[in-house]
Amino acid sequence: MDANILVSVLNKEFPAYTYSARVLSLVDNSKFEVYTSPICLAIAFYFAEKKSGRRKAKEKIQLLVSKIKIAESDKLTVLKASRDKFIEDFEDGLEYYAALKAGCKCILTQNTSDFYFSKVPAVTAEQFLEKYVLN
């Protein structure tokens, strides 16, 4: 789950919030494993802190981390992201390689074009719900 999905939930940013919150609620459904990366959490915290203040942002992140799985970002993940000649945005590369390491079947993002290089589908929260939940 990309930072922009997390931010839309933590800051209740409409219209994305409607779909992002619904996808995030799948953490309690045993049919799904919902992951994010440490870098996405850091970005989400930054924007939540700007809107809600540090204390409230920490509370939101703590609740999120208690529910969601964290994809690992180790040295090899960082090296792969930095060496991949097709990846221009390093943060997206870090997220992508962490998702691959965790075995994710897709990447949820509001900006699917950011993952033009991805070998797994990049889908919006709305697309994910249509494809994997509502069918």
Check residue 53 and give left, alpha or beta (phi > 0: left; psi -120 to 50: alpha): left
Contacts (Cβ under 8 Å, ≥6 apart) of 134: none
- pLDDT, position 59: 98
Question: In 3D, which of 132, 97, 103 has the Cα closest to residue 118?
Answer: 97
Q: How many domains does the chain have?
A: 1
Rounded to whole angstroms, how far apart are CA atoms 127 and 67? 22
- pLDDT value at position 135? 76
Domain that holds residue 114: 3-133
Q: What is the CATH number of the domain that holds 9?
A: 3.40.50.1010
Q: Any idea which residue has 């850091």 for tokens?
A: 42
In tens, the pLDDT along 92-127 reads 999 999 999 999 999 999 999 999 999 999 999 999
CB atoms within 10 A of CB 131: 12
Each residue's pLDDT, cut to its tens digit, for the chain (135 residues) gives: 999 999 999 999 999 999 999 999 999 999 999 999 999 999 999 999 999 999 999 999 999 999 999 999 999 999 999 999 999 999 999 999 999 999 999 999 999 999 999 999 999 999 999 999 997
Structure tokens, 100: 């691959």
Q: Are 40 and 109 in contact (CB under 8 A)?
A: no
CA distances from 15 to 69, 108, 110, 122, 123 (A): 25, 16, 11, 19, 16
